[in-house]
């Protein structure tokens, strides 16, 4: 068993002080061999992070190992004194965390930190410097000498995570523990990091990859261990665990995991005008059916004072309309302007230029009365229910207030609405007396949805409504949204970075990049055959649990453009594999096609991608 | 500061509060009527001795407790009320209202201005204008604390406004007033209210300091600072007890209030590691203040 790099046997970890001790990990077993990537899967509270911290001997105060064995690179980690453990961290075992910004020292350059970690293990000054540059190159950072001099905040999210991996790899460890290393990243960037980890493993590194995302695990890992409530429920080769799970819990997880299933029925299209900035409304749009019409809407955030002004182009010349009863997904990477657009639609923010029309009425400069009427018709669901609910209000208080605000004050009527809302969001009425802290994340989000539904709105805008929830809960909450849009005739606008997740819910999609519309189309057409290279890149970057042993593709080079200085021409051209001189010079106009509107000089017309993405 | 220390502080603070309430019934002599014994050293009949006019130091010290505590309490309550109003104006945007935006900036600068005025000078000025008396002292002590509370509330409102709750309230269609009064303020007041308990100790100290410098309450009223200042002249000639006993009681009270206040604050706002270290800093500050008064005495 000389190739076994990390072995954990019957690990028991206890947390808590005094009499109240809980077992965070109960008899976990796992092993990682040379050149192997082992996935550790579980939802929050499953004990996966505690297991990994125990391997490093870095459990937080009050948490300790009470049983079992951990062997790291041939050393019995648990019996070693702290001094010897420290010597192992780096040369034998290293870790990468989810958030590289908080793991780096903000005041030292990346290179300095890597050199420090080498010097701590007795490497000479010159040698450490050379190794630093070498390892930065190894993780795929361009111009490693220049990157070494930069500070963590100067790097983009993906670069920072690569630098974090470089820091971990500096001392040539045999084992790398990666705890949700790509969770905070865009799928397009995630795909690149996953490929890097795979390459490192192929070169002999043992990787313990902790994730809640079965799609990522399916593509990257050789073996999978599934944990729940501190116990290992199933483990084995990826093909068996993901492809043919035996344990009911793994099956539940897999059923809830977003993948790209069969096409759904085609809904109403979004109609986008051909020319951004054209003032006259398109005659083809049935004006009664259009709930929202956006004409050349921009939102710029200006910060700094004279001389040092920076302008963030959150949205630039967006024109679109949203039809009554449709459910529209707004997709794109972080910084693409999705949330800004949603906030404009909800009148939580005003455009810098252009018009947002709601049933033909401009949202800016509305009278107080009209605004009140608007608020009743358009409601919002936020990403984080914990912060959007008042901790001092019970569920009932929250809902009652929303009803009272919109004139429902009769007690019998209020009680009737409570029952209706409880059914609509599938939240038992027995929970109505509870405070938000006494509810689970999924239940809290249901409360937030119920609050939004209280005034019987016409439009419901949801900004990443499930991204703070566990996978198995995400699917349930998305079901609520689907019912609302299908059965209750609600017009739904949903912002999401997860194309797989919203597939069941949305019938049309608007793809944003760098504040501009790239493609907006019927969902079915989009998933079957994305025509914009950016849409295609997004779709291909989505991890899919069905793709065992196949990593997501990287079809967009680099990372999202800086919104403070958008590139000329087509915004996407610096990352586009099809870019030509025309793309660099001229911004493509939105052009109408039968089933979509597109802004691209050289759209993809060959349905080559369909087979890969649509398969199930 | 460890738990035991805080418990002890709570105990001593509580006992001394009892002393303040029960004062008139337990003092052996009338604190405002001189006895025949002048400048007596501590003895069985006068446990802390008597001063130059024949007042029993123990009786005056106990009676002074009421004066100082009353002034400090009134000042803290007054500054809390004014501080909350100013904090709301400075920290809440009222949905991006232009008028409130300008008002908020004005309040910010006003708070800067207030904090730049030295309190002792201000106290002297108030006394010069309105005469010696409780209202002047209360106003001066409250004046110092207003910016502290206003700033605390301002910053918690600012961060609350960036948070989800305000957004959610607006999107539900609540009026700005309802959002502020029902949701934002109740959830933001914790730290401000909690800090009021800490401010009490400081307010007592400041009250005594103003009196010590002659900007306090009118002389016959028993007051620690006045007592210490009156006795200071006799320390060089060996009559130390007039200043030292009230000085010790003052220090003990202030430290106990500061520590007890921190316990109250932590219990109210949920102690975290970061907060605890901030507390430690403030305790040090309170102790330095105490040392200063001791040195003055």
pLDDT > 70 fraction of chain B, expressed in percent and rounded:
89
- Residue range B99-146, pLDDT digits in tens: 888 998 999 999 999 888 887 788 788 878 887 788 888 988 898 899
So what's the pLDDT on residue A271?
36
Cα A106 to chain centroid distance, Å, stands at: 24
Number of residue pairs across A and B with CB atoms under 8 Å?
54
Contacts of B163 in chain A (CB under 8 A): 387
**Cα end-to-end distance, chain A, whole Å:** 38
Q: Is B164 near chain A, with CB under 8 Å? A: yes
So what's the pLDDT on residue A340?
92
What is the residue whose two structure tokens read 């072995």?
Answer: A7
> Which residue, A601, A446, A445, is CA-closest to A534?
A601
So what's the pLDDT on residue B109?
92
Taking CA atoms, what residue in B is nearest to A393?
B183
Contacts of B165 in chain A (CB under 8 A): 387-390
So what's the pLDDT on residue B254?
85
Are the beta carbons of A401 and B165 separated by less than 8 Å? no
CA distance A330 to chain B (A): 19
Contacts of B186 in chain A (CB under 8 A): 392
- Residue range A331-381, pLDDT digits in tens: 998 888 999 999 999 998 899 999 999 998 899 888 888 998 999 999 999
Contacts of A393 in chain B (CB under 8 A): 183
Task: Quickly state the pLDDT bin for B285 (edges 50, 70, 90).
Answer: very low
Helix (H) or strand (E) holding A211: strand A206-211
Q: Is B275 near chain A, with CB under 8 Å? A: no
Considering only CB atoms, B163 lies closest to which of A372, A387, A406, namely: A387
Interface ipTM > 0.90: no
Taking CA atoms, what residue in A is nearest to B186?
A392
CA distance A350 to chain B (A): 11
Residue A358's DSSP bridge partners are A292, A361
Sheet containing strand A22-33, edge to edge, reads A22-33, A4-15, A63-72, A75-76
Residue A613 has pLDDT above 50, yes or no: no
Are the beta carbons of A402 and B178 separated by less than 8 Å? no
Residue A489 has pLDDT above 50, yes or no: yes
Alpha-carbon gap, residue B105 to B112, rounded angstroms: 11
Contacts of A388 in chain B (CB under 8 A): 164-165, 167-168
- Region A110-121 average pLDDT: 93
- Region A565-580 average pLDDT: 88
So what's the pLDDT on residue B163?
82
- Residue range A491-531, pLDDT digits in tens: 999 999 888 888 889 999 999 999 999 999 888 888 888 88
Considering only CB atoms, A382 lies closest to which of B168, B183, B186, namely: B168
Q: How many CB atoms are located within 10 Å of the residue B252 CB?
A: 15
Are the beta carbons of B174 and A406 separated by less than 8 Å? no
Task: Quickly state the pLDDT bin for B17 (edges 50, 70, 90).
Answer: confident
Phi/psi for A466 (5° steps) reads -120, 5
Are the beta carbons of A391 and B163 separated by less than 8 Å? no
Fold of B3-296: MetI-like fold (1.10.3720)
So what's the pLDDT on residue B9?
76
- Region A54-62 average pLDDT: 88
Task: Quickly state the pLDDT bin for A18 (edges 50, 70, 90).
Answer: low
> Which residue, A235, A304, A264, is CA-closest to A42?
A235
Could you tell me the two tokens for B158?
């600012």
Are the beta carbons of B172 and A401 separated by less than 8 Å? yes
So what's the pLDDT on residue B255?
84
Work out the angle at residue A32's Cα, subtended by the Cα atoms of residues A30 and A36, and round it to the nearest 5 degrees.
140
Are the beta carbons of B173 and A375 separated by less than 8 Å? yes
Residue A606 has pLDDT above 80, yes or no: no
pLDDT > 90 fraction of chain A, expressed in percent and rounded:
45
Task: Quickly state the pLDDT bin for A276 (edges 50, 70, 90).
Answer: very low
Alpha-carbon gap, residue A516 to A572, rounded angstroms: 10
Alpha-carbon gap, residue B18 to B26, rounded angstroms: 11
Considering only CB atoms, A402 lies closest to which of B163, B172, B187, namely: B172
Residue-wise burial string across B171-192, b where 16 or more C-beta atoms lie within 10 A, e elsewhere: bbbbebebbbebbbbebbbebb
Helix axes B134-162, B98-116, angle to 10 degrees: 130
Residue A166 has pLDDT above 90, yes or no: yes
Phi/psi for A304 (5° steps) reads 80, 170
- Region A282-286 average pLDDT: 44
The three-state (H, E, C) secondary structure of A343-408, written as one string: HHHCCCCCCCEEEEEECCEECCCCCHHHHHHHHHHEEEECCCHHHHCCCCCCHHHHHHHHHHHCCC
Are the beta carbons of A401 and B186 separated by less than 8 Å? no
Residue A400 has pLDDT above 80, yes or no: yes
- Region A268-294 average pLDDT: 51
CB-based contacts of A148: which residues, under 8 Å, 6+ apart? A109, A110, A111, A114, A132, A133, A136
Q: Is B190 near chain A, with CB under 8 Å? A: no
Contacts of B174 in chain A (CB under 8 A): 401, 405
Which of residues 241 through 260 in chain B touch A, CB cutoff 8 A?
A: none
Are the beta carbons of B172 and A452 separated by less than 8 Å? yes
- Region B153-176 average pLDDT: 89
Considering only CB atoms, B168 lies closest to which of A388, A391, A455, namely: A388
Q: Is B174 near chain A, with CB under 8 Å? A: yes
So what's the pLDDT on residue A178?
94
Are the beta carbons of A384 and B187 separated by less than 8 Å? no
- Region A307-329 average pLDDT: 89
Q: Is B183 near chain A, with CB under 8 Å? A: yes
Are the beta carbons of A387 and B165 separated by less than 8 Å? yes
Residue A546, classed as helix, strand or coil, is: coil
- Region A41-45 average pLDDT: 86
| Sequence ranges of the domains in chain B | 3-296
Are the beta carbons of B173 and A346 separated by less than 8 Å? no
- Residue range A411-446, pLDDT digits in tens: 999 999 999 999 999 999 999 999 998 898 889 999
Residue B296 has pLDDT above 70, yes or no: no
Contacts of A451 in chain B (CB under 8 A): 168, 172
- Region A442-467 average pLDDT: 93
Are the beta carbons of B172 and A388 separated by less than 8 Å? no
Q: Is B168 near chain A, with CB under 8 Å? A: yes
CA distance B190 to chain A (A): 12
So what's the pLDDT on residue B282?
38
Alpha-carbon gap, residue B252 to B293, rounded angstroms: 12
Arithmetic mean of pLDDT over chain A = 86
So what's the pLDDT on residue A612?
37
Contacts of B170 in chain A (CB under 8 A): 348
Residue B293 has pLDDT above 90, yes or no: no
CA distance B197 to chain A (A): 23
Q: Is B5 near chain A, with CB under 8 Å? A: no
Considering only CB atoms, A390 lies closest to which of B171, B173, B183, namely: B183
Task: Spell out the domains of chain A, with CATH numbers in brackets.
Answer: 4-92+174-256 (3.40.50.300), 105-172 (no CATH), 290-304+311-614 (3.40.50.300)
Residue A173 has pLDDT above 90, yes or no: yes
DSSP state at residue B56 = B
Contacts of B188 in chain A (CB under 8 A): none
Taking CA atoms, what residue in A is nearest to B168?
A388
Considering only CB atoms, B172 lies closest to which of A386, A387, A451, namely: A451
Residue A224 has pLDDT above 60, yes or no: yes
So what's the pLDDT on residue A308?
79
Task: Quickly state the pLDDT bin for A318 (edges 50, 70, 90).
Answer: very high
Residue B271 has pLDDT above 60, yes or no: no
- Residue A199 to residues A137, A138, A453, Cα–Cα distance (Å): 14, 10, 49
CA distance A321 to chain B (A): 21
Helix (H) or strand (E) holding A201: helix A187-202
Taking CA atoms, what residue in A is nearest to B162?
A387
Work out the angle at residue A549's Cα, subtended by the Cα atoms of residues A544 and A554, and round it to the nearest 5 degrees.
60
CB-based contacts of A230: which residues, under 8 Å, 6+ apart? A13, A23, A24, A25, A26, A28, A46, A47, A50
So what's the pLDDT on residue B268?
67
- Residue range B74-99, pLDDT digits in tens: 999 999 999 999 999 998 888 777 88
Could you tell me the two tokens for A99?
């958030």
Task: Please classify residue A377 by burial: count the beta carbons closer than 10 Å to its beta carbon, then call 0-12 exposed, 13-18 middle and 19+ buried.
Answer: middle
Are the beta carbons of B183 and A388 separated by less than 8 Å? no
Interface of A with B (CB under 8 A): 346, 348, 372, 375-376, 379-380, 382-384, 386-393, 401-402, 405-406, 448, 451-452, 454-455
Could you tell me the two tokens for A146?
């220049």
DSSP state at residue B50 = B
């Amino acid at each position: 068993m000389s190739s076994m790099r990390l072995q954990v046997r019957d690990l028991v970890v206890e947390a808590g002080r005094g009499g109240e001790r809980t077992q965070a990990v109960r008899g976990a077993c796992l092993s990682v061999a040379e050149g192997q990537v082992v996935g550790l899967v579980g939802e929050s509270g499953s004990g996966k992070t505690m297991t990994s911290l125990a391997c490093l001997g870095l459990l937080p105060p009050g948490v300790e190992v009470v049983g079992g064995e951990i062997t790291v690179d041939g050393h019995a980690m648990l019996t070693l004194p702290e001094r010897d453990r420290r010597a192992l961290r780096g040369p034998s075992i290293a870790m990468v965390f989810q958030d590289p910004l908080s793991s780096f020292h903000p005041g030292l350059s990346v290179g300095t930190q890597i050199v420090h970690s080498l010097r701590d293990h007795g490497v000479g000054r010159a040698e450490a410097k050379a190794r630093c540059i070498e390892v930065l190159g190894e993780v795929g950072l361009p111009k490693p000498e220049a990157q070494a001099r930069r500070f963590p905040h100067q790097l983009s999210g993906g670069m920072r995570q690569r630098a974090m991996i470089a820091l971990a790899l500096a001392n040539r460890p045999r084992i790398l523990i990666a705890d949700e290393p790509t969770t905070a990243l865009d799928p397009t960037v995630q795909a690149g990091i996953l490929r890097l980890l795979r390459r490192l493993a192929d070169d002999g590194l043992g990787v313990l990859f902790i994730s809640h995302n079965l799609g990522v695990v399916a593509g990257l890992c050789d073996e999978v261990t599934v944990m729940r409530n501190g116990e290992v429920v199933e483990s084995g080769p990826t093909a068996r665990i993901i492809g043919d799970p035996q344990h009911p819990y793994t099956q539940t997880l897999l059923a809830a995991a977003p993948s790209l299933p069969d096409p759904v029925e085609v809904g109403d299209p979004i109609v986008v005008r051909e020319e951004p900035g054209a003032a006259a409304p398109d005659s083809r749009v049935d004006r009664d059916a259009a709930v929202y019409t956006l004409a050349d809407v921009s939102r710029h955030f200006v910060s700094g004072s004279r001389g040092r002004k920076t302008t963030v182009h959150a949205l630039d010349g967006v024109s679109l309309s949203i039809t009554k009863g449709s459910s529209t997904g707004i997709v794109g990477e972080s910084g693409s302007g999705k949330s800004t657009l949603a906030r404009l639609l909800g009148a939580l923010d005003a455009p810098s230029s252009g018009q947002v029309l709601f049933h033909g009425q401009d949202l800016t400069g509305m009278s107080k009365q009209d605004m009140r009427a608007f608020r009743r018709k358009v409601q919002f669901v936020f990403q984080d229910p914990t912060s959007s609910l008042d901790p001092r209000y019970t569920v009932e208080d929250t809902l009652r207030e929303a009803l009272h605000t919109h004139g429902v004050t009769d007690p019998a009527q209020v009680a009737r609405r409570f029952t209706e809302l409880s059914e609509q969001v599938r939240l038992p009425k027995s929970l109505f007396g509870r405070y938000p802290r006494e509810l689970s994340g999924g239940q809290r989000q249901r409360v937030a949805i119920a609050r939004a539904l209280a005034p019987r709105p016409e439009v419901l805008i949801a900004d990443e409504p499930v991204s703070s929830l566990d996978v198995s809960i995400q699917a349930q909450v998305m079901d609520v949204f689907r019912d609302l849009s299908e059965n209750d005739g609600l017009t739904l606008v949903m912002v999401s970075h997860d194309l797989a997740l919203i597939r069941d819910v949305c019938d049309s999609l608007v793809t944003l990049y760098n504040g501009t519309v790239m493609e907006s189309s019927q969902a079915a057409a989009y998933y079957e055959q994305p025509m914009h290279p950016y849409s295609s890149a997004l779709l291909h970057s989505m991890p899919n649990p069905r793709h065992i042993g196949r990593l997501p593709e990287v079809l967009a080079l680099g990372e999202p453009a800086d919104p403070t200085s958008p590139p000329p021409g087509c915004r996407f051209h610096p990352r586009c594999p099809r870019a030509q001189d025309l793309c660099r010079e001229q911004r493509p106009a939105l052009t109408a096609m039968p089933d979509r509107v597109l802004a691209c000089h050289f759209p993809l017309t060959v349905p080559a991608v369909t087979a890969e993405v649509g398969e199930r | 500061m460890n738990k035991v220390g805080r418990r002890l502080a709570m105990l001593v603070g509580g006992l001394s509060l009892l002393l303040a309430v029960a004062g008139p019934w337990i003092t052996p002599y009338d604190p405002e009527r001189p006895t025949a014994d002048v400048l007596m050293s501590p003895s069985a009949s006068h446990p802390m001795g008597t001063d130059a006019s024949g007042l029993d130091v123990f009786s005056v010290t106990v009676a002074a407790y009421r004066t100082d505590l009353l002034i400090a309490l009134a000042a803290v309550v007054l500054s809390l009320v004014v501080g909350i109003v100013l904090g709301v104006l400075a920290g809440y945007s009222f949905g991006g209202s232009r008028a409130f935006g300008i008002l908020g900036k004005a309040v910010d600068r006003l708070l800067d201005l207030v904090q730049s005025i030295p309190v002792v000078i201000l106290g002297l000025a108030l006394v010069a204008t309105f005469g010696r008396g409780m209202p002047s002292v209360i106003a001066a002590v409250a004046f110092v604390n207003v910016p502290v509370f206003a700033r605390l509330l301002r910053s918690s409102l600012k961060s609350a406004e960036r948070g989800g709750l305000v957004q959610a309230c607006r999107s539900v269609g609540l009026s700005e007033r309802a959002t502020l009064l029902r949701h934002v303020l109740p959830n933001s007041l914790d730290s401000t209210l909690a800090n009021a308990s800490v401010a009490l100790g400081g307010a007592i100290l400041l009250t005594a300091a103003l009196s010590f410098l002659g900007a306090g309450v009118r002389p016959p009223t028993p007051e620690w600072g006045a007592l210490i200042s009156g006795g200071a002249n006799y320390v060089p000639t060996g009559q130390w007890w007039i200043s030292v006993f009230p000085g010790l009681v003052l220090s003990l009270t202030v430290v106990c209030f500061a520590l007890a206040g921190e316990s109250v604050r932590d219990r109210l706002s949920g102690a975290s590691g970061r907060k605890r270290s901030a507390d430690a800093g403030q305790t040090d500050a309170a102790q330095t203040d105490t040392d200063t008064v001791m040195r003055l005495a």
